[in-house]
A and B are shown apart, each in its own frame.
Chain A
């Protein structure tokens, strides 16, 4: 049956090509905007700390995810350095990816943050990356007003 279907004549069956591209915008909000402005203008990574459960969120939140406490004014400056807690190597190429493969996507737990977040790790060959290594933020020369105002994280020398 399957063998038969493969040989069906589809010569005059139209395929309507599609490309969905609709304009849209995204409101970063007051909290997200402050985080980006700090990256862009002061090269400082900020988090917010819940006074109730002491969680430090980076990227920041307006309300604590765990206990709904309002935390959007409780900013803390995190070091621009942290620990690579895990990583993977991107080996395929695709138009939507920010780098040419191969490159490293790492989980970076900044000093003072509760949980790691994901960013690009560069300045090191994939085979030399190691869990537990110290990395620091390298900021972009041109701003995009996104998290990519951090260009990547690079190993801390020594």
Chain B
């Protein structure tokens, strides 16, 4: 399978709300409209320049059916073509991928992608998530996004002490990054000398997974405006280019059947296919930043190995040596990641949005010191599927 793009596509506008625990002052369309206005202002265009709108969330959280219709008053989609996309945790990135496809195909010149969730309006996100499981075989048994599988695998492979320490180090590193990001939701101000205490005293959720490891539950919206190469160059001084993206599905556990359909994680399959078809031999060398959808610190350390096609303890060693830190070999989640901010259906859009801001030099206090030319962003959807996207500062690949 090769990438097929009829024409190049650039990100010309990015808008996001502050990510917070709750927003009583705004209803859903008002919150979305805040991000829409920000993205339009960022692109320096007006709503009339937008040809098409793609909109997405997970509707069993706010429990409003087909919110894209009601949100028309906030999205500016009035009288325009629109699509609604909902793919669970990956929704935010699927929205960007769809917008990219719509522009690359030649169908539309300028497409706006809108991802949001207002999780404080949800009484039970896990209650909503469990509805994806087969009612006969699994709905009553599954625990939604709360799982210890990844922790158990790491502990089995690296031993309790080393694995627990690596997960906690990743978690504290994420908090340190989030502390620099004004838009991040949870900023605890954790220090590395709290590791032992947190490993012991953070409330246990499932197995080895503790509250401190787990992603937040946030309110927020993210909007990205994509345009064809010709339009992007005309409208925008610093377009960021979407080079390629891939989705790898893996849903076998939704039916409560644990036979391995893929012998590897969807993260590794996605990375290998994407890098191979783009001629990237050494991803650690190549990428200047990676924004990863890390739903928990345990998943974070497991997937770094898969996304960078590393073997054995290479990735965990890089955690120990600080190679994923802001000044390390590949800075991971300068935004603070998903353990800090998680307005779910905006979350996976915040990943490429953050990469693009880093490339433009507009990230703010958490701007990386190095020049960011090649970026990678991932999305994750429960059960176990992956979206992966390569972004480029220059149109020269």
Contacts and interface: CB of A to CB of B under 8 A. Distances in A.
Contact of A29 (B27, B63, B122, B127): B27
B37 A16 contact: no
Interface residues of A, number: 20
B30 A22 contact: no
A8 B229 CA distance: 58
Interface stretch (B102-110, B128-136, B188-196, B234-242): B128-136
Contact of B78 (A22, A27, A28, A65): A65
Given A16-B136, A18-B135, A22-B128, A63 B24 contact: no
B123 interface: yes
Contacts of A24: 61-63, 121-123
A16 B135 CA distance: 7
Interface string A46-86: 00000000000000011101001000000000000000000
A158 interface: no
A23 interface: yes
Question: Which of A28, A61, A62 counts the most chain B CB atoms within 10 A?
Answer: A62
Contacts of A30: 25-26
Given A16-B136, A27-B118, A27-B121, A32 B47 contact: no
- Chain B CB within 10 Å — which of A14, A23, A26, A27 has the most? A27
A22 B127 contact: yes
A23 B124 contact: yes
B128 A27 contact: no
A31 interface: yes
B120 A23 contact: no
A25 B60 CA distance: 12
Contacts of A62: 26, 30, 33
B31 to A, nearest CB: 8
A20 interface: yes
A26 B271 CA distance: 39
Nearest to A59: B73
Interface string B76-99: 101000000000000000000000
A61 B32 CA distance: 13
Contacts, number: 65
Contacts of B26: 27, 29-30, 62
Given A63-B33, A68-B47, A25 B123 contact: yes
Given A14-B136, A61-B73, A22 B60 contact: yes
Contacts of B61: 24
A61 B33 CA distance: 11
A27 B27 contact: yes
A119 to B, nearest CB: 18
B22 interface: yes
Contacts of B28: 27
B360 interface: no
Contacts of A61: 73
B269 to A, nearest CB: 33
Given A22-B124, A24-B121, A68 B37 contact: yes
Contacts of A16: 135-136
B135 A32 contact: no
A62 B124 CA distance: 28
A85 to B, nearest CB: 21
B200 to A, nearest CB: 33
B29 to A, nearest CB: 8
B23 A27 contact: yes
Nearest to B33: A63
Contacts of A26: 27, 62, 64, 121
A64 to B, nearest CB: 10
A22 B118 contact: no
A64 B118 CA distance: 22
A27 B122 CA distance: 11
B254 to A, nearest CB: 15
A62 B60 CA distance: 26
A18 B122 CA distance: 20
Interface string B12-38: 000000000011111110100100010
Interface in B320-350: none
Contacts of B128: 22
A75 to B, nearest CB: 16
A20 B63 CA distance: 10
Interface in A92-132: none
A151 B78 CA distance: 31
Nearest to B73: A65
A122 B382 CA distance: 49
Nearest to B27: A29
Give the top 5 A-B pairs by smallest Cβ distance, nearest first.
A23-B123, A29-B27, A24-B63, A62-B30, A30-B25
18 contacts: A16-B135, A16-B136, A18-B135, A22-B122, A23-B124, A23-B127, A24-B63, A24-B122, A26-B27, A26-B121, A27-B22, A30-B25, A31-B27, A31-B30, A62-B30, A63-B33, A63-B74, A68-B76
Interface of B: 22-28, 30, 33, 37, 40, 47, 60-64, 73-74, 76, 78, 118, 120-124, 127-128, 131, 135-136
